[in-house]
Structure 1
Amino acid sequence: MIGLDFGFGALEQDMWRVVFLMTRIGAALLAAPFFGAASVPMTVRVALTGALAIFTSIWLPAIETPAALLSLDGLLAICGEVIVGLALGFVLQLAFAAPTIAAELIGGGMGMSMAMASDPMGGGTTTAFGQYFLIVLTLIFLATGAHLHWIALVTESYQVFPPGETWLGPDRFLAIAGFATSMFETGLRIALPVVLVLLLVQVLTGILSRSAPSLNLFALGLPAGVLAGIAALVISAPLIYDQFLGIVERSLEQTESLMIR
C-alpha cells in the first residue's frame, strides 16, 4: 500500500487499506455541518471515521486501492478521494446555512443582531435565533434518519466513484453551486412571514411617531418589534418546520444526484 514493508504481512495491507478508505469518509465528515462540528472532539471524529472505513472495507471488499500510497499515482488517488468527500459534505453544509441566513434577516428586523452566541458547529458566532434554528434543524435531521441515509450515500459513492475515477466533472460542480441558490431561497421563505410582520410593526410605529411626536420611537418600537417577532415565530412554527424538512430532503436528493453517472 505505501511501498514500505514493516513485516506484518496481510494485516499491514488491510490496515493501510482502511487508512486509504478513511480519506474520503474523513473528508466528508469534516465538511458536513453536524459530524464535523467544532464541538465534536477530534478523537471522536477519528474513531467514527475509522469505524466506517472498517465497515466499508468489509462491505465492499472488491475496492481496488493504489499499490503504493507514497507514489504519484497514490497521491493523486488521495486527492481524488478528498474531492469526493468534501463535495458530499459540502452539500449538507449548504443546507444547514439556510436557517442561519433566515436568522440574520429576522434578528436584524427585530433589532436583536447584537445578541450573538457561539456557534458550536461552525466555530464562529451567530445570532440567538440562528442557534435556535440550527438546533431545530439538527433534531429534524436526526429524527428523520437523514444522517444514516447520508452515511449510506457516502459508502455507496465507492461504487460510483471507485479510487482512481474520482473526478466529478464540471456538471456536478455546477449542480453544487446551483444548490446554493436553493439555500438562499429557502432562507428567504423561512424569514418571510416574520419579516412581513416586523415590517407592519415598523410602519405602525412610524405612523404613531408622526401623529404623536412626544412618543419615544426607540422605547416603543424595539419592544413592539421583539414581541411581534416572537409571536410571528410561534404562529409560523409549522411552516418553518415544513421548510426545515424540505431542506433535509433536498440535501439528500442533491447528494444522490452527484452519484448519477
Structure 2
Amino acid sequence: MIPADLSAEVISQWVGQHLWPLFRIASFFMVIPFIGTQLVPARIRLGLALLTTILIVPMLPPVPQVEALSGDAVIITLQQILIGVGMGFALTALFQLFVVAGQMIAMQMGLGFASMNDPAHGVNVTILSQIYSITITLLYLSMNGHLVAIEVFLESFRTIPIGMEGLGQEGVWQLAHRISWMFVSAVLLALPAVTAVFIVNISFGVMTRAAPQMNIFALGFPIGLIFGLFSIWVLHANFLPHFEQYTRETFQFMRQLQGQP
C-alpha cells in the first residue's frame, strides 16, 4: 500500500522538479569550454550538475503537472536539453573564434604545418591557435567569467521557466546565425596580421619580377615568418580589449536567447 502523501502525482512532481532542471544544467555543463572538455571527466561534470541542481531547486518556480511517462514530459525534457546546449554553444563560440583567428593567421604566415594535438577537444590545431586558446582560458577564469556565465545561465530558469515552450523558432535561428558571428569576429581579429603578411608577400612578388634570379622560396619564407611573428607581438597588446568586447557581446546574446533586452 502506498501512503496517501506518496501518490503517483506527488512522486511525478518530485521527479519533474529535480530531473528537468538537471537535464538543462547537465547539458550546459557538457558543452561549455572550461568544463565540458575531455580534460574534465564526465563524473565531475555530472557531480557539478547534481550539486547545482540541488542548490537551485528550492528557488525555482513550480514545474507543470505532467505525467512522467507521457509525451508532454518527453517534449519538456527535449526543450530543457536544447536550452542548455544552446546557451553552452553561445559560450563555446566565444572561445572558438580565437581558435579560428589563430588558424587564419598561421596559414597566412606559413605556420600551418606547425600543429599539435588539442587535449581539450582531441583535434589537431595550429600552434598559434593553441596559444590563443590557452590565453583566453586564463583570461576568462582570472576575470571570473565562469561565474558570470553560470549566473546568466541560471537566470534562464526565471526568464524561460520549465514548460512546453523553450527557445522557440526565433531562438534556434539566432543560434544558427551565431556561427556567422563567430567567423566574422575571427576575420576582424586576424585581419591586421593577415593584411601585414599579405603586403610582405606582395612586395616579394614585385622583387621577384624585378630580379628573377632571386630565390624567393629561400628568402621569402623566413622573412615572412619573422614579420608575421612581429605582427602577432604588436597586435597582442590589443588582445584584452577585443576579448572584453567579444565576451560582453556573448553575455548579451545569452540574455537575448532568454528574451531579456
Output the TM-score relative to the length of structure 1: 0.87
- Letter in structure 2 aligned against 1:191: A
SS in 2 for 1:118: strand
Give the corresponding residue for 2:98. 99
Query: In structure 2, what is the equivalent of residue 129 of structure 1?
Result: 128
Do 1:37 and 1:123's aligned partners in 2 also have CA atoms closer than 8 Å?
no
Deviates more, 1:92-101 or 1:189-198: 92-101
1:217 matched to 2:220? The reply is no
- The alpha-carbon deviation at position 216 of structure 1 amounts to 2.1
| Number of residues of Structure 1 aligned to a counterpart in Structure 2 | 253
Aligned to 2:259: 260
Deviations 1:126-167 (A, max 9, x none): 111111111112122222222111111221211122221432
Distance 1:170 1:12 in 2: 29
**Alpha-carbon deviation of 1:15?**
7.1
SS of residue paired to 2:116: strand
Give 2:38's aligned residue. Answer: 38
1:9-88 matches, within 5 Å, as 17-60=17-60, 62-64=61-63, 67-88=66-87
Secondary structure of the equivalent of 2:113? Answer: coil
In structure 1, the residue matched to 2:111 is: 112
Alpha carbons 1:33, 1:92 under 8 Å: kept:
yes
- Aligned-residue offset at 1:175: 2.4
Change (3 A) 1:25 1:166: farther
CA 1:258–1:141 in 2, change beyond 3 Å: closer, same or farther?
A: same
Which residue is 2:162 aligned to? Answer: 163
Query: What is the Cα deviation at residue 246 of structure 1?
Result: 1.2
Residues 117 and 155 (structure 1), Cα distance of their counterparts in 2 relative to 1, 3 Å cut: same
Using a 3 Å threshold, how does the CA distance of structure 1 residues 66 and 127 change in structure 2: closer, same or farther?
farther
Decide whether aligned partners of structure 1 residues 101 and 243 sit closer, same or farther in structure 2, where only a CA change above 3 A counts.
Answer: same
- Most deviating of 159-168 and 79-88: 159-168
Contact 2:102 2:190 in 1 (8 A): yes
Unmatched tracts of structure 2, length 5 or more = 1-5
CA distance in structure 2 between the aligned counterparts of 1:44 and 1:215, rounded to whole angstroms: 59
Q: CA deviation at 1:221?
A: 1.3
- Alpha carbons of structure 1 residues 221 and 259: separation in structure 2 relative to 1, 3 Å: same
Displacement of 1:43: 1.4
Answer yes or no: is the 8 Å Cα contact 1:18–1:50 preserved in 2: no
CA contact (8 A) 1:99 1:187 kept: yes
Q: Give the Cα–Cα distance (whole angstroms) in 2 for the partners of residues 66 and 212 of structure 1.
A: 81
Q: Which amino acid aligns with 2:97?
A: A
Question: Does the C-alpha gap of structure 1 residues 65 and 36 become closer, same or farther in structure 2, counting only changes over 3 Å?
Answer: farther
Contact 1:205 1:220 in 2 (8 A): no
* TM-score with structure 2 setting the length: 0.87
How far apart, CA to CA, are the structure 1 residues paired with 2:139 and 2:205? 39
Partner residue in 1 for 2:186: 187
CA distance in 2, matches of 1:63, 1:181: 37
In structure 1, runs of 5+ residues without a counterpart are 1-5
